[in-house]
């Protein structure tokens, strides 16, 4: 497993304490799981995503990520409506391991407000949190 210093935690994303990331893509916000999360989970074999149009409140379960060893709920880091899902993950769930911030993105969300993003951790704070856990 990767040491904290080996993890990729991009500066241009925000992070939740459940190890999801959120980043602006034009008007919407893209969400996925962090490099720490995919490294801990191991080989991802299945991703369950919500439907386009579904609404979630912050911290609600929006999907499931399944690895060879375990099944984990994913919690949405902000309130809003799902505008797009990454259908590539149906055919190739390993994209989440290979490229958690780019090709392995999970959902796009039209946020209810910008406050939720402000309340997420920046990269430095997330790294500090990880150092505290491990």
* Shortest separation between residue 93's beta carbon and another protein, angstroms: 9
Phi, psi of 40 (to 5 degrees): -70, -40
Nearest to another protein of 46, 131 (CB atom): 46
Residue number, 40 or 99, with CB nearest to another protein: 40
Residues that bind another protein (CB under 8 A): 1-2, 39-40, 42-43, 45-46, 64, 66-71, 73, 97
Nearer to another protein (CB atom), residue 50 or residue 80: 50
């Amino acid at each position: 497993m990767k040491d904290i210093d080996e993890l990729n935690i991009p500066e241009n994303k925000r992070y939740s304490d459940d190890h999801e990331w959120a980043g602006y893509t034009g008007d919407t916000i893209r969400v996925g799981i962090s490099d720490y999360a995919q490294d801990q989970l191991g080989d991802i074999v299945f991703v369950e995503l919500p439907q386009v149009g579904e609404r979630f409140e912050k911290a609600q379960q929006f999907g499931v990520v399944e690895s060879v060893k375990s099944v984990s709920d994913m919690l949405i880091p902000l309130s809003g409506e799902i505008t797009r899902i990454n259908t590539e993950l149906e055919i190739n769930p390993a994209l989440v391991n290979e490229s958690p911030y780019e090709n392995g993105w999970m959902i796009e969300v039209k946020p209810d407000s910008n406050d939720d993003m402000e309340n997420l951790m920046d990269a430095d704070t997330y790294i500090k949190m990880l150092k505290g856990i491990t």
